Amino acid sequence: MSQQHPLSQVQKLCETFLAKLGVSAFIILGWHEEGRLNYVYATRGMLKNDVVKAMTWVMHDYTLRSLVKQGEKKNDSSTLLTLCKNLLSEIDLPGFVVLCLPKKGEGYRALYATRKISHMAVLSGISWSLRRYVEKKLT
């Protein structure tokens, strides 16, 4: 990618990532560039209400993880987490990726990859994505 990261280019990167996974999911990617936080999200194969429910769950889950396990790193070597880290490395800036997939049955599984970015920036990105999604899809 170029030095500047146009939102449309990063948006396409996220949509392609989800298409390659081939499963129902949503993704939020945020990055810090030139003193500004930027966010994009993409969804695939999830109903509108399920996306809202999942984003709300992700905000709660991430908050609990960052408060309860502050500074503690989970050693998760799953393929999906590796793919999220690879996606984050493509923009090569401080940032984060949140990938959420519905579990079989009920509930969600979320993966978080971060690089040199604060917990508040991640929460802000999740909150922004939820607000934007509701504005675009449910109004």
Domain coordinates in residue numbering, the chain: 7-137
**pLDDT class for 5, splitting at 50, 70, 90?**
confident
Retrieve residue 24's tokens: 């129902």
30, 2 contact by CB (below 8 A): no
Q: Quick one: how far is CA 42 from the chain centroid? A: 9
**pLDDT class for 69, splitting at 50, 70, 90?**
low
- DSSP letter at 41? E
Q: What is the mean pLDDT of residues 77-101?
A: 90
> pLDDT digits over 94-130, tens only?
999 999 999 888 899 999 999 999 999 999 999 999 9
Strand partners, 27: 42, 99
pTM: 0.87
Say what the pLDDT of residue 102 is.
Answer: 93
